Structure 1
Amino acid sequence: MTSTTKLSVKLLVDTKANKVLFAEAGKDVVDFLFSLLVLPVGTIIKLITKESMVGSVANIRQSLESLDSTYLLSGRAKVDLLNPKVSVPSLSENGTLLLPTCASSSSMGMNKRYYRCSCNYNSSCHNYVTDVSGTRCPGCNNNMTKQLQYVEPNSSGTVQAVDTANGLGVVKGVLTYTIMDDLTIRPMSTISSITLLNTCHVKDLSVLQEMTVKLGIEEGLRLLKASLQSKTVLTDVFLAKRGCTSERVDLEWPDY
């Protein structure tokens, strides 16, 4: 998924209450929403900026950014904390996460290089590995420069994607999913849609409007921010955004 990719989401809007009742979306959108669960706090702060954060956790990041290297045991630790990586084997590196600066474990593993000491007479040296060439070996104090070959887990490993027939990700792609305004997610069906309308106390079907919106990086960041602050996420993100394609739909109760 490139930075210009837009995911499609269909909203059912109560125009009288100016509220999204629920949305219909496919695998790509649901995978994105579930992927928010693995975002490190440091990544969230970096993505939505300190000014948009509620609370004081962003001050921790700013404190680390401002801390002089004199007070740090390792400059590498500072870099890692300020640029945390996402590691979820079943999420594809093609952009399931949608948001920038998020890397999957498969892409991380393929690009990561590991080194050990080349000393052969001290067996304890083989117990150490580093991802920085030239690091001093704790066993013999020589430089650790012998590169190791990274091996991807095979089909018997525990990091295999859950459903290879549907590609990488979290959920299967053969279904449409219902996403509530508070981001509750469930598989969609005709019966569940009717139940949802009853649950939302919809009496007048003429006030309902179907709206198709696009979910890209900008909307993804707004959705991430709203999900941390609101119980009406879809309404907050999409009804306040202009330029959405919408159309009136006539809804009728099906005959059984």
Structure 2
Amino acid sequence: MAVTNMSLKLLIDTEGHKVPFVEADKEFIDFLFHILRFPLGTIIPLLKKQGTVGSFGNIYDSIENLSTTNLQPNVNKETLLNLKYKVNVLASMRKMVSFVDPPSATNTGSSGGGGYVKGLVTYMIMDDLEVKPMSTISSITLLNKLNVKHIGALEEKVVELGMDEL
């Protein structure tokens, strides 16, 4: 089994001592969206009604707000957002849980095959786990919204994540 590392590019505000956002590619966004495939993803819509969902709700909202042009052709946004789990109680009182299969990863790579999102797009992740396609205008707007005053105080740092860090 091959070990794959993912790179994240952090934008650091050295004056404000914070990270306004992180730049990530397809592999990390697919990993982040895959978190919703766990049973937690099933209860997020229920928790959202009570207003107690936290940052995982932002991942859910990011998928909800993501344009279908950023999704792989075989990914149905509604299926990803409304996962159904079948739980069957067997005679021995064990539970069998079947999960919906993830999109095919047979054609992975920079061209964007497999996974959830297309690979030719760079994404930005905010500190509350909100995910958006990255653009120059959205980056500048976010920096202004976060009250970053001096562009010279911004620093870039690349972080490598492997299985140990995830």
Q: TM-score, normalised by structure 1?
A: 0.40
Kindly indicate whether residue 100 of structure 2 is the aligned counterpart of residue 87 of structure 1: yes
- Runs of 4+ in structure 1 displaced over 6 angstroms? none
1:43-81 Cα shifts (integer Å, max 9, x gaps): xxxxxxxxxxxxxxxxxxxxxxxxxxxxx9427x26x5x
Identity of aligned pairs, percent? 50
Q: State the shift of 1:85 in Å.
A: 6.5
2:148 aligned partner, one-letter code: V
Q: 2:92 aligns with which of 49, 68, 74?
A: 74
Match of 1:29 in 2: 28
Q: Are the equivalent residues in 1 in contact too, given 2:106–2:113 (CA < 8 A)?
A: no
- State which structure, 1 or 2, has the greater radius of gyration over its C-alpha atoms: 1
Aligned length: 115
Unmatched runs of 5 consecutive residues or more in structure 2 = 41-89
Cα pair distance change 1:166/1:17, threshold 3 Å: same
Q: Are the equivalent residues in 2 in contact too, given 1:12–1:21 (CA < 8 A)?
A: yes
Q: 2:118 aligns with which of 161, 172, 187?
A: 172
The secondary structure found in structure 2 opposite 1:31 is helix
1:157-208 Cα shifts (integer Å, max 9, x gaps): xxxxxxxx73111111111111111111111111111101101100022221
Q: Are the equivalent residues in 2 in contact too, given 1:178–1:186 (CA < 8 A)?
A: yes
Match of 2:150 in 1: 204
Unmatched runs of 5 consecutive residues or more in structure 1 = 42-71, 96-164, 221-256
Q: Are the equivalent residues in 2 in contact too, given 1:40–1:85 (CA < 8 A)?
A: no
Q: Are the equivalent residues in 2 in contact too, given 1:166–1:172 (CA < 8 A)?
A: yes
Cα pair distance change 1:38/1:207, threshold 3 Å: same
Q: Are the equivalent residues in 2 in contact too, given 1:40–1:86 (CA < 8 A)?
A: no
Q: Are the equivalent residues in 1 in contact too, given 2:20–2:146 (CA < 8 A)?
A: yes
What does 1:1-256 correspond to in 2, within 5 Å? 2=2, 4-40=3-39, 73-74=91-92, 77=94, 80=96, 86-92=99-105, 166-220=112-166
Q: State the shift of 1:219 in Å.
A: 2.3
1:7 aligned partner, one-letter code: M
Higher relative contact order (CA 8 A, sep 6+): 2
Cα pair distance change 1:217/1:15, threshold 3 Å: same
Q: State the shift of 1:214 in Å.
A: 1.2
- Superposed CA RMSD in Å reads 2.7
